[in-house]
Amino acid sequence: MSKKGNFYIATPIYYVNDRPHLGHAYTTVSADVVARFHRMLGENVLFLTGTDEHGSKVEKKAEEVGKTPKELCDENSGHFQMLFDRLSISNDDFIRTTEDSHKESVKIFMSELYEKDSFYEDRYEGLYCTGCERFITEKELVEGKCPDHKTYPEKITEKNYFFKLKEYLPKVKELIARGELQVEPESRRKEVLGLLDNEVLDDFSVSRESVKWGIPLPFDDSQVIYVWVEALQFYISALGYGRDNEKFEQFWPVDVHVIGKDIIKFHAIYWPAMLLAAGLPLPKKIYAHGYFTINGDKMSKTIGNVIDTNDLIDSFGTDATRYLLLSQFPFGQDGDIKADKFIEQYNADLANGISNLLHRTLSMTEKYFNGITPTMAEEEHLSLLPGGVEALWNNYKNDLNELKVEKALSHVTMLVKVADGYIEQTKPWELAKEDQEKLANVMYTLLEFNRHISFMLYPFMPDTAEKMQTALGVQYEEHTSFDELIKWGTLERGTKIKKDEPLFMRREN
């Protein structure tokens, strides 16, 4: 497809002290949908993900399991990469923070901040939660323990370098309030502005003295850079910041950071402040999705409702797993994953829905037109879709531009229902006996519906979309523009269809 603008999207890099869980899959598949959609628009997309590998948590975990930190990182980073391959994630690169290129850019960025006088040295005395990888205040403790990790924090006294966060907060606040730095959805924007209003944020430490597993500070090698301070810099180190500015200038600022809401403060406040200090442009948008429960409960080993993404892929396949994850609740909100309804939903939406519609359409085309796409005399779809297919595509496009992932997907399910209703209403098997011209109209309309469904599905279910297009005899041309793709009636008459096995077979409980 013809190249338009550049579009840079990134997920956070995931911490390797453990294996990937369903939340990682959810964030990454969602970002993948947005990346694929922008490629479909003809944009030059850069989509990045990766793993965050330093810090005392990795150091400790490695010691526990009798490995070196690097061995643990290689192993767990490998699990992320394998999972993302199985989920058909189309990332252009996978960044590991233990790579030399990342370390080099980080040192350049930290030196830059040092030269601009954004750091000061201080002794830190306080409590530290290794689970959180951060200093924790007395006020936050519940019965003396970290509320998230239920462990006692350590008392730590050490020399640290601090970032002058407070100097940059008024500017960050102003940019968010003005909408120049977009924080979405609205509930997250309010949360961030609330934090900025209440002045609860303090300068933060950017280095650790007692940790060994990390990147040394370029101006004081008795210290390693605080793991999350360094991890955030992946977004620019991956573009060759300070090393090869061509890619950096092409893609920075990032169009959207897709993250979970637990790390909103780091992305919407700390990261922009650091960029301001370095004199770099800020991200255009930060989009935080919500938390989810499984069948109404928080996912936990004790309840026994932990879902392993690999098991889901084993039982449903890649595309259906993507579909089931994304169709549960509006992206950006908290919601519930109704895993106990997965089979039901799979049968209703995929086997009896998308798959059955295509299969019926192809079977009838074989039976009535020897498998050749018939010529249409009249445009049939206009009475079925108010505003035509164009209006539907507009909604779809607007929704995905606003990262309303689940809503965009619901247009596809709707279109399948319209097409199913159309079959029931027109009864092609009766037309076959009495009205060949009308039958040709109906069959062409159905084939064309399937073509539109396949393209709308592409960002969500890439493999299924491709199978549908092969079955319909649709040729993907490099130069075909998005506007051309979404026009009604571009399915060529006389095209030979190729009926294969159904896309999805019904399954029993």
Identify the active-site residue in 116, 166, 298, 417: 298
Shortest distance, position 148 Cβ to Zn ion, whole Å: 4
Task: State which H helix or E strand residue 465 sits in.
Answer: helix 462-472
Whether the bond into 253 is cis, omega within 30 of 0: yes
Q: Which of 25, 48, 73, 129: binder of Zn ion (CB under 5 A)?
A: 129
Residues whose CB falls within 8 Å of the CB of residue 84, separated by 6 or more in sequence, listed in order:
28, 49, 91, 94
Which phi and psi angles does 13 have, rounded to 5°?
Answer: -90, 145
Least separation, in Å, of the C-beta of 52 and Zn ion? 16
CA dihedral 327, 330, 331, 333 (to 10 degrees): -140
Query: Which range, of 46-54, 125-133, 303-311, 491-499, touches Zn ion by CB under 5 A?
Result: 125-133
Q: How far is the CB of 21 from Zn ion (least distance, A)?
A: 17
HSE-up of 18 (CA within 13 Å, CB side)? 6
Exactly one of 38, 57, 107, 146 is catalytic; name it.
Answer: 146
Active-site pick, 107, 129, 267, 452: 129
145 is a catalytic site residue: no
Nearer to Zn ion, 23 or 131 (CB): 131
**Quick one: which segment of 121-129, 218-226, 339-347, 462-470 binds Zn ion (CB under 5 A)?**
121-129
Asked if 364 interacts with Zn ion (CB under 5 A), we say no
Q: At what angle do helices 309-316 and 69-86 cross, to 10 degrees?
A: 30
Q: How many CA atoms lie within 13 A of 111 on its CB side?
A: 13
Residues 299-328 that bind Zn ion (CB under 5 A): none
Q: Does 132 bind Zn ion (CB under 5 A)?
A: yes
Nearer to Zn ion, 141 or 432 (CB): 141
Is 57 annotated in the active site? no
Binding mask 144-163 for Zn ion (x = CB under 5 A): --x-xx--------------
Restricting to residues 230-259, which ones interact with Zn ion according to CB under 5 A?
Answer: none
Place of tokens 């391959």: 85
Enumerate the β-bridge partners of residue 177: none
Q: Which is nearer to Zn ion, 149 or 212 (CB)?
A: 149
Give the whole-angstrom CA distance, residue 216 versus residue 130.
19
Closer of 140 and 402 to Zn ion (Cβ): 140
The verdict on 193 binding Zn ion (CB under 5 A) reads no
* 73 included as an active-site residue: no
Q: Which is nearer to Zn ion, 200 or 391 (CB)?
A: 200
298 is an active site residue: yes
Q: Look at residues 146, 93, 84 and name the one whose alpha carbon lies nearest to residue 321.
A: 84
Does residue 126 touch Zn ion according to CB under 5 A?
no
Q: Which position among 149, 166, 341, 487 bears the catalytic label?
A: 149
Q: Which of 99, 413, 354, 381 is nearest to 233 (CA)?
A: 99
d(Cα 35, Cα 410) in Å, to the nearest integer? 19
Applying the rule CB under 5 A, the residues between 406 and 465 that interact with Zn ion are none
301 has catalytic annotation:
yes
Give the C-alpha separation, 291 to 263, whole Å: 12
Count of residues interacting with Zn ion (CB under 5 A): 6
For this structure, is 67 an active site residue? no
Tokens coding 283: 């991200």
Options 75-83, 143-151, 162-170, 363-371: segment touching Zn ion (CB under 5 A): 143-151
Residue range at the interface with Zn ion (CB under 5 A); choices 124-132, 231-239, 398-406, 482-490: 124-132
Taking alpha carbons only, the member of 5, 6, 41 closest to residue 486 is: 41
Q: Does position 131 bind Zn ion by CB under 5 A?
A: yes
Q: Specify the residue for token string 């205040």.
A: 137
CA distance 154 to 75: 28
CA distances to 365, 469, 489 from 449, in Å: 14, 12, 10
In the complex, what is the shortest distance from the CB of residue 146 to Zn ion, in angstroms, rounded to a whole number? Answer: 3
Assign 162 to helix, strand or coil. Answer: strand
Pick 262 or 336: Cβ nearer Zn ion? 262
Please measure the distance between the N-terminal and C-terminal CA atoms of the chain and give it in whole angstroms: 42
Closer by beta carbon to Zn ion, 132 or else 432: 132
E strands of 284-356, at which residues? Answer: 285-289, 292-294, 335-337
**Catalytic position from the list 21, 145, 438, 499:** 21
Q: Locate tokens 């407070």: which residue? A: 166
Query: Between 148 and 180, whose beta carbon lies closer to Zn ion?
Result: 148
Residue with Cβ nearer Zn ion (227 or 364): 227
Stretch that binds Zn ion, among 127-135, 194-202, 242-250, 423-431 (CB under 5 A): 127-135
Contact between residue 392 and residue 411 where contact means Cβ atoms under 8 Å apart: yes
Minimum CB separation from Zn ion for residue 127, in Å?
10
Q: Which residues in this chain contact Zn ion in the complex, by CB under 5 A?
A: 129, 131-132, 146, 148-149
- Which residues are catalytic, by number? 21, 24, 129, 132, 146, 149, 298, 301
